[in-house]
Chain A
């Protein structure tokens, strides 16, 4: 066997954690059962690895075999559903004693988790469960709200079980999981193919007064078209993901165009909290400029919501 192959196999096996070694070697299926049985896996890792490499040399492992071993290692690294579920459940049970955890796997590599919370002394409350949806191929999980006491514990369980380093709460909330997914996974502009957007004027219901001066009508049309075009460029031609609200915490100084003297000496900013609510916020915002209620282009604070995947903002003067 080539020196380089031997070295490669040695390094690959060294990377495998001891608790997974046997599984991987079995999956690799290069060394026979008998051969594996000759190894004492309780030795120090270096000794085990040495023994294994020697067995591979005996069997004359090729580059291809080594490559196959490499692939198998990568595969296991990715995601082990069983291990995740066990780990997750264990962490919660160790902390709370009384907790009911149930799992359901769905397509798209998603696992739905239902947790009914209890405490050291009380039974789990089955009427107020928390639901978590974890997409194993991504670093994202979605949780139903209603978590206060147990949020850190849940975060810890998710992080450890999924083998990540930390969990960060995103400033994005909605009642519609599909919308959250669409925004987080940036899928919203793939829903519809963009079609020809230059629909002739008659088809758009502009409701013009036919008795108006034709020059004014022309200017209105030009302006309306401009607004329509900008709106389309900003929001796209596709249905917007459904969000119910956006919240902005503003701490900005007052600067007025009306009257320069108002609050001119005041150093402190105005502390404001602005909340937009709607059954379908993004569609409502999209309709503002065409309705004349907002300027076009709309403020980036609003249009950035799907892109930034946030609907909670803190804005300060720079």
Chain B
């Protein structure tokens, strides 16, 4: 993936056609297939992206809720648009999902020893987690364990959390009718069995489809560069990369941590275009890191697989795991992930 052809059309230029003819689900997929056939399977990354800046909308942002999204590891999925989802039915959804979970667990499909069936499901909106006004409102689903004890002060324990969002999702929003709600990025924290049960309910109820969102080395490099480019008052974490070397018979992992100030100095020296990050700059930044490493160890990191990048802004793993550390750039990080999710759906 070293060459990028600027003349490739990106998926967001796909045409929207025949919005009136939708059958549930099937037609949506048909439409997707059509637009896919028109494109190649090239990496649809633009040659440049805006550096994330502090951009929470001037809305009623619940900083408490936003803080709780940070410093947690989330597993990423892409999600196709939800059919006939309504923000005014959140209480109803809570009730239905609750019943579904209890039924599934009693069926013995996902029984964990000692599990408490006394749970509470809460759907709530996450205000301010969007890129533009056109983006649908993000919402949060939480599974809490209902305390058996009569004492009111006992706080319920959160067993599982998942949230749905869409940041700068115009390319997807343009292509769907009003019956659909586009929240292509889904993040989950909790056991996989719970994620599977909740996923099943959403798929049945809103005719949507979840797909694990892997992040390839190319996008990890972009993230590393963009997050290094972010202005930080102080650094809370070292900048670190993890490579997996495909040698046999033994596996080898190489972790390369660089002091965040030094990483920033390197980036500043590479960076030319104000306010933006270009493909060339990302490549040069990574090449500098490779060459510094090669000078010492004579190993070509470019021949190995980048699996994890970690900065003070966020850390991401190729398996589709993310941890956001900085509230200032939360939207910026989510914007990139939304882009990846949309690409996976299309």
Q: Are A274 and B252 also in contact (CB < 8 A) when A292-B303, A293-B247, A294-B297 are?
A: no
- Against A, the Cβ 8 Å flags (1 = close, 0 = not) of B287-316 are 110011101111110011000000000000
Partner of B262, one of A271, A274, A276, A299: A271
Q: Are A293 and B299 also in contact (CB < 8 A) when A275-B255, A280-B250, A283-B250 are?
A: yes
Q: Are A273 and B257 also in contact (CB < 8 A) when A278-B252, A291-B247 are?
A: yes
B123 to chain A, nearest CB (A): 42
Q: Which residues of A contact B295 (CB under 8 A)?
A: 255
B43 interfacial by beta-carbon distance below 8 Å: no
A91 to chain B, nearest CB (A): 39
- Against A, the Cβ 8 Å flags (1 = close, 0 = not) of B232-251 are 00000010000001111111
Interface-lining segment among A26-34, A195-203, A259-267: A259-267
- In whole angstroms, how far apart are the Cα atoms of A287 and B252 in the complex? 10
Q: Are A284 and B250 also in contact (CB < 8 A) when A272-B257, A274-B255 are?
A: yes
Q: Which residues of A contact B24 (CB under 8 A)?
A: none
- In whole angstroms, how far apart are the Cα atoms of A288 and B284 in the complex? 25
Closest A residue, CB atoms, query B302:
A293
Q: Are A287 and B248 also in contact (CB < 8 A) when A254-B266, A255-B295, A302-B297 are?
A: yes
Q: Is the CB of A298 within 8 A of B254?
A: no
Q: Are A299 and B297 also in contact (CB < 8 A) when A254-B288, A257-B291 are?
A: yes
Q: Is the CB of A293 within 8 A of B258?
A: no
A270-313 interface with B by 8 A CB criterion:
270-281, 283-285, 287-288, 291-295, 297-299, 301-302
- In whole angstroms, how far apart are the Cα atoms of A294 and B269 in the complex? 27
A273 to chain B, nearest CB (A): 4
A224 to chain B, nearest CB (A): 16
Question: Number of B residues whose C-beta is below 8 Å from A?
Answer: 35
A256 interfacial by beta-carbon distance below 8 Å: yes
- Against B, the Cβ 8 Å flags (1 = close, 0 = not) of A38-70 are 000000000000000000000000000000000
Q: Which residues of A contact B293 (CB under 8 A)?
A: 274
Q: Is the CB of B288 within 8 A of A256?
A: yes
Q: Which residues of A contact B265 (CB under 8 A)?
A: 263, 266, 268
- In whole angstroms, how far apart are the Cα atoms of A28 and B254 in the complex? 61
Q: Is the CB of B257 within 8 A of A284?
A: no
B124 to chain A, nearest CB (A): 42
B256 interfacial by beta-carbon distance below 8 Å: yes
A78-122 interface with B by 8 A CB criterion:
none
Partner of B269, one of A262, A268, A276, A299: A262
B293 to chain A, nearest CB (A): 7
A208 interfacial by beta-carbon distance below 8 Å: no
Partner of A270, one of B238, B249, B251, B262: B262
Partner of A258, one of B251, B255, B291, B300: B291
- In whole angstroms, how far apart are the Cα atoms of A257 and B296 in the complex? 13
- In whole angstroms, how far apart are the Cα atoms of A315 and B293 in the complex? 13
B132-158 interface with A by 8 A CB criterion:
none
Chain B residues in the interface with A (C-beta under 8 A): 238, 245-259, 262, 265-266, 269-270, 284, 287-288, 291-293, 295-300, 303-304
* A–B complex contacts, Cβ < 8 Å, 8 sampled: A254-B288, A258-B291, A272-B258, A274-B293, A274-B296, A274-B297, A292-B303, A293-B303
Closest 3 A/B residue pairs (Cβ):
A271-B259, A284-B252, A284-B250
